[in-house]
Amino acid sequence: MNRSYYWLILGLSIPAFVWLVPTIWMVSLSFQPNELLARTTSSTALGLIPIPFTPENYIALFRFGQVPMWFLNSLIVSVGMTLAVLAVSTTAGYALARLDFPFKTPVIIICLMGLMVPEQAVFIPLYTMFADWGWHNSHHALILPRVAVPIGVFLMMQFFKAIPKDIEEAARIDGVGWLQIFWYVMLPLARPAMMTLAILTFLYAWNDYLWPLVSAQQREYFTITLGLASIQSNFAQAEGLGRVMASGVIASLPVVVLFLIFQRYVVRAMTAGGTKG
């Protein structure tokens, strides 16, 4: 490592710090007393260091607000959506990649065309359908529309295509049925791809805003992402800036922790979602 390398790292640390400042600021403000924040947000080091320090905002959040309920809704919706997407994507992905059946190519093309349809192009008809069925303000209403998006099917299809055929053929000679091959041979092999898809789906579910905004009108069914949007417009008056910032931190915690633990998968998932969805 030469000197120019250290200059590069030093030179990049400054923009990296600037990049991080908004996040640090949110965390720092969430630990400062509301009464102080009403006067000034720059008490220590422009507010980037939480002095005076108080955990009061977080305690209040869990005592009075709806944040814990929204958090729970987000968990239910995100986990439910992840499991559902994994179930339909692995099965369909395997069938499209490895099994022969009539009209296979048209089926693949029809599924592929679904990738062209953005959420914003179907959210109005979905709203009317769910309204007719009385499905709004429920967890399954928040989950189902995303399960239909074929991105997961294609990720799994590409993965299964890359597995060597002889594994399957050996099992066939032993007389193992197709469903057993799928369950006992293919799924264990697909764990890394499933992990990527699971993270992609979880992040999407956790962060989705437009569909929950349309579908969940009762505050009891808000996700944390939607709930946060509903309290941020009047942060100064009702809740206090510190408490809103604490809600923001709580809302980000699962995805940030997920990112820090499974960084490689998260990066792979987001690029896969970005390049193909």
Partner 1 sequence: MPRHQGARLALSQRQAAIILLLPFLAVYAVFLVYPFFKGVWISLHDWNLMAVAFNPDAKSYVGLRNYERVMWGQNITWAAWASPGFQIIGVLGMLASAFLYRTGRAGKVTALAMGIAALLLFVLPGFHPGEGGRWFDRRFWPTVGNTILFVGLAVPGVTITAMLLAAALDGETRAKAVLRTLFFLSQVLSVTVVTLIWQIMFSPRQGLIANLTELFGGSPIVWLTAEGFAMAAIVIATIWWSLGIAMILFLAGIQDISKDLYEAGALDNATGAKAFWYITLPNLKRTITLVVVLQIILHFQVFGQSHLMTGGGPNDTTQVLVRYIYQTAFRDSELGRASAMAVFLFVIMGGFSILQFVLGREKDE
**What part of residues 183-242 is at the interface with partner 1 (CB under 8 A)?**
184-185, 203, 206-207, 209-210, 213-214, 225-226, 228-229, 232-233, 235-236, 241
105: contact with partner 1 by CB under 8 A: no
- Binding to partner 1 in span 106-125, by CB under 8 A: 107, 110-111, 114-125
Give whichever of 46 and 59 is closer to partner 1, judged by the CB atom. 46
Give whichever of 123 and 139 is closer to partner 1, judged by the CB atom. 123
**Smallest gap from residue 87 Cβ to partner 1 (A):** 7
Among the listed residues 182, 177, 166, the one whose alpha carbon sits nearest the alpha carbon of residue 97: 182
Give whichever of 72 and 210 is closer to partner 1, judged by the CB atom. 210
144: contact with partner 1 by CB under 8 A: yes
Rg (CA), the chain: 23
Residues in the chain: 277
- Binding to partner 1 in span 76-95, by CB under 8 A: 87-89, 91-92, 94-95
Give whichever of 60 and 185 is closer to partner 1, judged by the CB atom. 185
Q: To which residue do tokens 């349309």 refer?
A: 214
Contact with partner 1 (CB under 8 A) among 2, 63, 102, 134: 102
Q: To which residue do tokens 């559902």 refer?
A: 84
Euclidean distance between CA atoms 224 and 142, whole angstroms: 13
Helix (H) or strand (E) holding 16: helix 3-30
Contact with partner 1 (CB under 8 A) among 7, 44, 46, 189: 46
182 and 91 in contact (C-beta within 8 Å)?
yes
42: contact with partner 1 by CB under 8 A: yes
**Smallest gap from residue 226 Cβ to partner 1 (A):** 7
Give whichever of 56 and 235 is closer to partner 1, judged by the CB atom. 235
Give whichever of 153 and 198 is closer to partner 1, judged by the CB atom. 153
**Smallest gap from residue 166 Cβ to partner 1 (A):** 15
**Smallest gap from residue 117 Cβ to partner 1 (A):** 6
Instruction: Mark 30-43 as b/e (b = at least 16 C-beta within 10 Å).
Output: bbbbbebbeeebeb
Among the listed residues 63, 74, 61, the one whose alpha carbon sits nearest the alpha carbon of residue 245: 61
Euclidean distance between CA atoms 116 and 243, whole angstroms: 40
Count of residues binding partner 1 (CB under 8 A)?
106
Q: What is the DSSP letter of 115?
A: G
Helix (H) or strand (E) holding 257: helix 241-261
Contact with partner 1 (CB under 8 A) among 67, 147, 194, 198: 147
- Pattern 246-275, binding to partner 1, x per CB under 8 A? --x--xx--xx-xxx--x--xx--xx--xx
Question: DSSP 3-state assignment of 58?
Answer: helix
Euclidean distance between CA atoms 94 and 157, whole angstroms: 6
Euclidean distance between CA atoms 199 and 209, whole angstroms: 18
Contact with partner 1 (CB under 8 A) among 86, 142, 149, 190: 149
Tell me the two tokens of residue 263.
Answer: 């960084």
